[in-house]
Structure 1
C-alpha cells in the first residue's frame, strides 16, 4: 500500500476558506483515504460525498478551525464506522488468492496487494480503521484515539487483535486452509 498524502496540520491550508477550492485541491486525497479505509471505490465515493455534503452547510465555521483536513478525515472515519453504513456496506467476495509468484517477479507485488486487501476486508471495521490510520496515515496512537473517540489502550488492543487475526488467516492459508 502506498502511504497517504500527509495530513494537513497547518492552519491556512490553501483554498480552505472556499469549499469548492478545498474539494478541488484535496478531494482526490480524501477519496484515496476513504478507499483505503473501505476497500471499495464506490463506497469511498459515497463516504466522501456524504461527508462533504454534510460539512458544506457549515463550511464557514469549519474553515475557521485549525486542521480542517484532519477534521474532514475524522468525519469520513466516523461515517465509515457508523451503523447506518454497516447495513449498506457490501463486502466483495473474492475467489481464492492464487499461489504467489516468485518474489523477484513483478506480479508478486500485485498478489501481495490483493492478499492485503483480502486480509483487511476480513477485519471488523474498527480494527480496519485503526490499521489504516496507523499504517497508511502514519498517525500515532494518541491521534488515532482522538479520531475514533476512544482511549490509547483501545487503539493498541484493536491493532494487536487485527494483526493477530491477519497472521492467523495467513498461516491458515499457508497450511492449506480455506482462509
Structure 2
C-alpha cells in the first residue's frame, strides 16, 4: 500500500474505532467480542482499502463490514453453545441526580437485555435503524436485503423487545408505550 493510502487508512481507523466499537457492542452485547469484531473489520478494510473510493461510501462500507463480521461470528457453530447472558458492568456516571442515574442505568440495561434476546438478523436491523439512525434504504443496502425485509424485521424485533420489557414488570410499561404482549 502506498504511504498516502496508509496514512488515510490510519486516519480513518483512528476516527472510526470508537464508533465502530459502540456499534459492534450494540450488535453483540459483549465489549470483548465487540473489540474482536472491530479488529476483524479493520483487517478486512485494510486488505480492501484500494477499492474504497469516496468519503460518502466509507461510513456505509465500515458499517457493512462490521455487520458482516458479526454475522459471520454468530454463524459459527462453536459460538452457539456459549452463553452470553452474563451481567454487563455499568460505567459509573458521577454527574446528575443519583436517582436519575440509577433509573437511566436500569433502563439501559433493560433495553440491552431485551436487544440481546432478539434474533441476530432482527437485532442488526434494529441497531442500524434506531441506534445508527440509518434510513430503511440504507439499512437494506448495509444488510444486502430488500426494504420490505428491513421493515418486517424491524417490526418483529421491536415486538420481541416489547415482550421482553413487558415481562420485566409494570415499572417499565412506559418504555413499551403501555403495550403488552398479546
Indicate the residue corresponding to 1:23 in structure 2.
13
**Aligned residues between the structures:** 154
Match of 2:28 in 1: 38
- Contact 1:79–1:85 (Cα < 8 Å) also in 2: no
Indicate how the Cα distance of structure 1 residues 165 and 58 shifts in structure 2: closer, same or farther if over 3 A, else same: closer
CA drift at 1:18: 1.8
* Distance change (3 Å), C-alpha of 1:133 and 1:64: closer
Bigger mean CA deviation after superposition, 111-120 or 36-45: 36-45
Decide whether aligned partners of structure 1 residues 155 and 91 sit closer, same or farther in structure 2, where only a CA change above 3 A counts.
farther
> Which segments of 5 or more consecutive residues in structure 1 lack a partner in the other structure?
1-14, 96-103
CA drift of 1:21 comes to 1.6
The structure with the largest helix share of the pair is 2
The answer to whether the Cα contact below 8 Å between 1:34 and 1:47 also exists between their aligned partners in 2 is yes
1:50 equivalenced with 2:40 (yes/no): yes
2:176 aligned residue = none
Distance 1:122 1:68, change over 3 A: same
- Alignment counterpart, residue 111 of structure 1, candidates 103, 106, 128: 106
TM-score normalised per structure 1: 0.75
What is the root-mean-square deviation in Å for CA atoms of aligned residues?
2.5
Specify the alignment match of 1:72 in structure 2: 62
Q: Quote the residue 2:79 is aligned against.
A: 88
Distance, in Å, in 2 between the alignment partners of 1:54 and 1:115 is 33
Distance 2:118 2:69 in 1: 17
CA distance in 2, matches of 1:141, 1:21: 29
The aligned residue for residue 147 of structure 1 is: 142
For structure 2, the 5+ residue unaligned runs are 88-98, 171-182
Q: Which has the higher contact order (CA 8 A, sep 6+)?
A: 1
